[in-house]
Each structure stands twice: as structure tokens, then as C-alpha cells.
A and B are shown apart, each in its own frame.
Chain A
Amino acid sequence: MERKMFLQNGLAALGLGLVIPLACKKDATITSSSGTTSASTGSSSSDSCTVTDSETAGPYPTKSPSSYVRSNIVDGQPGVPLTIKINIANTNNSCSALANAVVDIWHCNAAGYYSEYVDGSGGNYPTVDYTSSHFLRGRQTTDANGSVTFTSIFPGWYTGRAPHIHVHVYNSSGTSLLVTQMAFPADVCNTVYTTASNYVAHGTQDTSNEADSILGDSLDNELTVVTGNITDGYTLTHTIYVSA
């Protein structure tokens, strides 16, 4: 109460009107412009102190970002390590680096499956394990050099598509700038899919980059550079151009 009074009197003295929403905490608003202080469940008294508000049992939430926000997106999925380095450049600013862009990526696992809800046989109610439900999906914000880096595994493939990673680039406000995909060099895919233990059983991809319905006509700007080997892992580097 004493601190409330101090805030109230101090701010009122300064002539400031202030409304502070406390995200992820119980509703509380300090409104000093009217000279009153209120809290939704507080009590008033002429004494110098009041009883602390009671709360229900259970965890008190800590403001937490989306579980996409992380650089390591492996979540226990087996496969050849892959470091993904993406640079975002702005075509509206001489192709210079775009800082503070939000970059989402997602790709399938070594066997060709995405993390998602999967309907089971018999029409059950699909659920996922909360400890690893969004494997191989991640979100990073570009640094001053327009770069983000993810730690993942080399993606597998599924019928009708060449191997690829999905990318969604947003501006810092979350407005979509570009949805695109990144393709892999055929020779690297061939090496991984014919010799790496988690991929051999699935075999080589059934669709080449050139025959892919999405990547085939845009390989000039969607084909990535991938270096490395199966033992040490691979590093993918790619620049994506957006109009920001």
C-alpha cells in the first residue's frame, strides 16, 4: 500500500497519466491521472496496509515465448547433424542485411514425417507429447547481419517432393514478408540417403529438384549450398531476399 501511495502521489504530482497492463499477471491497473489507484481484487482500508490477495493453487504462469523460439530444433529426432545458416536481405534497401526479421523454419524428419497431429486408426482423438511435440520446427530473429542459425538434422524426403526446408519470414511485427522453401544439392542428398544409418532404409528421393512441382522452376534462388560429411555433419548456407 505504501508503494502504491507513493506511485499514485508521485505520478500525480508529475501530472502523468499512466496505465500499465501487467501481462500474464493478475489484472491490475494503476491509473494516476484520476488520482485513484485500483486493483481488480484488492481491498481498501484506512489502515496503512491490506491483506495480501489470495490466489488459487497451482502454478503461477511465467510469461513464456512460443516453443518455436529456439535455435536447436532437433527434439530427439535421429539423423545426420545439419547446421542451417540463413541470411535475410532486403531488396528495398540495396539488398542489405535485414535485422530483426523473424524467421520460421520447418522440415520433415529422416523418415519423411513432420511434427503434427496424426489421426490414428479407428478415428481416435490425436494428441502429441508436450515435451517434444514440435520437433524440427523453430523460430529465430535475425541479428545485425541479417543472420539466423538453427541446429537440426538433415531432412528426409516424402513421396512426390524433393528434399526441402520450409521458411516463413516475418518483419519484426509479425507481418508475413515471404513464404518460401530451400532445396538441397542432389549429390549431398544422394550421399546421405544411401549411406547414413537413419536414412538408408527409406532410400533415395523419388523426385529430383528439377522435377519438383514447387522448386523446379526456381532453383536459381532456392538451391542452397551444403558442405560437410556424414560423420561431422553438414552446414547449409543460404540467402533469402525479401521486400521489407
Chain B
Amino acid sequence: MAKGMIRLVHRIVIDNTNTNAWEKCALNDSYTEFLMQVQLYNKEKKYHTFSELQQQVPGAEKLHFLVSASVTAYIRQFNGLVPGIVNIHGKPFLPFKQYRFEIIDSDVANAANHCIAISFVTEPCLWIDTIGSTMIIAPGAGNTGNINIQEEVFTETVTLSSRLSIYSFKPAENLWYHNQTEKCS
């Protein structure tokens, strides 16, 4: 019946044109952290931009992770629910623990060129069906797949976009409840 288990990924890109207060905090604090951490890879101060560092300095790609500590506290403020994706009640509903922070580019001499992206990867959600462009999912049933499909399942709907995509998929035949259903029939 259900199609399988999916994890969604929601990506936000932040630069100095963003006006949201949370985004400004993440952008500004990540730039401060970048200025500190970049000194590990730019001891002679030869380079200005992150792009240059990535091309010229081995290991500079680790700055993605090293700078990410600057936004972790802000990510905690979402209380484990993906921001910006809300249900008809206007509330976030997609649970997440996994995220990835990326520096799209930065410049030690110009904060205005600092641009970052944060991707939120959801916990597994049961993908029940798709109607038109709308996916029917059950986030609360996704943790183990260990549900009795004959009982009521609370659902939400999402529409994929350029910022919301499917991160992973596990087909229904591998789920415990599916096998259970087959046994019952």
C-alpha cells in the first residue's frame, strides 16, 4: 500500500540579502568563525576567498565542518523540526537530526561576500501516496516502519520544490509492516 520510507532534505541559502533575523545570526556568526578557522589554512595570508583556498590549499574543504559549530546553537533553536516547511496549521512538522552546513563562498576581506547553505535532512517518513504534486507522508510513523498499517496513521502533505527534495528511499517491501500485511492476507 505505502510506497516506502523516505527522508527529505530542505536546503536554505543565506547571504547578505537575507533579512530574516535567524538567518542574519547564522550568517554573521559563521563569518566570525570563518575568520578564526581560516587562519589554519591561510597562515601566510595569501588568499582572500574560500574558493581560492579550496583550489590551492589541501584540507581547506574541512572549513565547511569547522565553521558549522557557529550555527549549531541556532539550529538547536528549531527544536528538531525543519524550519520553513509548515503544515496547514502553520507549524513545522518534519523532524530532523541530521544537517549539513556549507560555505558557498567567503572572503576574509569582505563580509558581504560570505554566503552559506544549510541542509536539513529529515528523519524517515512513511511515504503513503502521491496525489497530483502533493506527497502524503506520515512523519510520526517513520522511525522504525514498525506500524500496523490497518490502524489510523496521522499524515501531512508536502510538495517538492527546488529547495525540498528526497534524500533517500527505502522500498515498502523491506519494511516490517509490509511483511506483516502480507502474512495477514
Contacts and interface: CB of A to CB of B under 8 A. Distances in A.
A170 B99 contact: no
Contacts of B70: 66-67
A56 interface: yes
Given A24-B25, A25-B21, A66-B33, A116 B62 contact: yes
Contacts of A56: 20
A158 interface: no
Most B CB within 10 A of own CB, among A26, A59, A124, A125? A59
A210 interface: no
Given A130-B99, A174-B35, A24 B21 contact: yes
A65 B35 contact: no
Contacts of B69: 66-68, 133-134, 137
B98 interface: yes
A27 B19 contact: yes
B86 A57 contact: yes
Contacts of B179: none
Given A68-B69, A133-B72, A134-B72, A61 B100 contact: no
Most B CB within 10 A of own CB, among A27, A66, A124? A66
Most B CB within 10 A of own CB, among A57, A58, A60, A65? A58
A58 B83 contact: yes
Given A59-B79, A62-B77, A128-B100, A179 B86 contact: no
Contacts of A24: 21, 24-25, 28
A61 B68 CA distance: 17
Given A116-B62, A130-B76, A57 B20 contact: no
A179 B40 contact: yes
B72 A58 contact: no
Given A24-B24, A61-B22, A130-B72, A116 B65 contact: yes
A66 B73 contact: yes
B39 A61 contact: no
B167 A125 contact: yes
Contacts of B3: none
Interface in B63-98: 64-65, 68-70, 72-79, 83-84, 86, 90-92, 96-98
Given A64-B73, A64-B74, A168-B40, A125 B100 contact: yes
B9 interface: yes
B121 interface: yes
Contacts of A176: 36, 39-40, 43
B29 A66 contact: yes
B100 to A, nearest CB: 5
B114 to A, nearest CB: 15
A243 interface: no
Given A59-B78, A117-B64, A26 B73 contact: no
B32 interface: yes
Interface in A85-143: 102, 115-117, 124-131, 133-134, 137
Given A57-B90, A59-B83, 18 more contacts: A24-B21, A24-B25, A59-B77, A59-B78, A60-B22, A61-B21, A64-B74, A64-B77, A67-B72, A117-B100, A125-B119, A127-B100, A127-B121, A129-B98, A130-B75, A131-B76, A170-B36, A179-B43
6 contacts: A125-B9, A127-B98, A127-B100, A130-B72, A130-B97, A176-B40
The 8 closest A-B pairs by CB, nearest first: A64-B73, A176-B39, A127-B98, A67-B72, A59-B77, A24-B25, A61-B22, A61-B25
Interface of A: 23-27, 56-68, 102, 115-117, 124-131, 133-134, 137, 168, 170, 174-176, 179
